Amino acid sequence: MDDSQLLRYARHLMLDEIGIEGQQNIMSSSVLVVGAGGLGCPAAAYLVAAGVGKLVLVDDDQVELSNLQRQILHTTGRIGLPKVESARQALQALNPEPLIECHDRRLDGPGLLELVKDADVVLDCTDNFTTRHHINRACVALKKPLVSGAAIRFDGQIAVYDLRHEDATCYACLFEPSDNLAPDNCATLGVFAPLVGIIGSMQAAEALKLLAGMPAGLDGRLLQFDARTMQWHAMRVQKNPQCQVCGTAHV
């Protein structure tokens, strides 16, 4: 770590739980963020500001005027650009050190597996159940920790599925693929702008703790947030032996 990095990351180095070793772990890590919208923007911003070595960003959308109410990496001047390119410009201005790799397409199957394989932590910042289940299956198959967030209307949720552990819960243990057929998203139901910032920032926090070697506070817990009342509700989650993805009959 050179003098410039010691200064840039000084506030992390002061933390006993992170220190030089933890910051070096962050700086040598690779993080996959799927989604460059409301959740992905704050998550990616904090990951890059904290100095992750490599950030891989995946999204197949372009910046639209309606995004700017909440997707804080994008600007009016970049309307029409691919979201990953718009985000890359903002992130490099924030911290030029991390390598930022962009994929302007929707990924599933072998393409997604290849990106998950190379990641130390995966963040699901998408807004549809189909993609969430693709990401979850890839993380289960490759035993990668997954930080999953969601936000709609005034309601948000976040969970960590540390699939490096044999007894870990996966996303499908809680939300079976057959139960998630409704195409609910921000475009159809709306979303309170700061909500995505709250959940996305928490996704970054959990990811950075995992990278630094700290325990994830939400491993095995689903945290739900109501922005109307500003109340949090946490529930313990357990592995479903009959899970279609990680259950004993399916692995």
- 251 residues of the chain, pLDDT tens digit each: 999 999 999 999 999 999 999 999 999 999 999 999 999 999 999 999 999 999 999 999 999 999 999 999 999 999 999 999 999 999 999 999 999 999 999 887 789 999 999 999 999 999 989 999 999 999 999 999 999 999 999 999 999 999 999 889 999 999 988 754 555 566 778 999 999 999 999 999 999 999 999 988 898 899 999 999 999 999 999 899 999 999 875 55
Whether 57 is in a domain gets the answer: yes
Q: How is residue 187 written in tokens? A: 């475009």
Q: Is 173 exposed, middle or buried (0-12, 13-18, 19+ CB in 10 A)?
A: buried
Per-residue confidence (pLDDT) for residue 185, from 0 to 100: 66
Strands 145-152 and 121-124: parallel
**Cβ(28)–Cβ(47) below 8 Å:** no
101 in a structural domain: yes
Structure tokens at 136: 């979850």
Q: What per-residue confidence (pLDDT) applies to 249?
A: 59
Domain harbouring 102, CATH code? 3.40.50.720
How many structural domains is the chain composed of? 1
- pLDDT at position 67, please? 97
Residue 214 within a domain: yes
Residue 178 neighbours by CB under 8 Å, 6+ apart:
none
Domain residues for the domain of 133 are: 3-236
pLDDT at 179: 59
Task: Kindly list the catalytic residues.
Answer: 186
Query: What's this model's pTM, rounded to 2 decimal places?
Result: 0.94
- The rounded distance, in Å, linking the Cα atoms of 231 and 227 is 7
Is residue 224 within 8 A of residue 150, CB to CB? The reply is no
For residue 82, is it within any domain?
Answer: yes
pLDDT at 178: 73
Helix axes 40-49, 83-94, angle to 10 degrees: 30
* Residue 58, SS3 per DSSP: strand
- Integer Cα distance of 26 and 48 in angstroms: 10
Whole-number pLDDT of residue 245? 93
| Amino acid found at 250 | H
Q: What pLDDT shows up at residue 166?
A: 86
Q: Give the phi and the psi of residue 158 in degrees, each rounded to 5.
A: -150, 145
In a domain, 148, yes or no: yes
Residues whose CB falls within 8 Å of the CB of residue 90, separated by 6 or more in sequence, listed in order: 45, 73, 74, 75
In a domain, 241, yes or no: no
Asked if the structure places residue 242 within a domain, the reply is no
Q: H or E segment at 55?
A: strand 54-58
Q: Is 157 inside a domain boundary?
A: yes
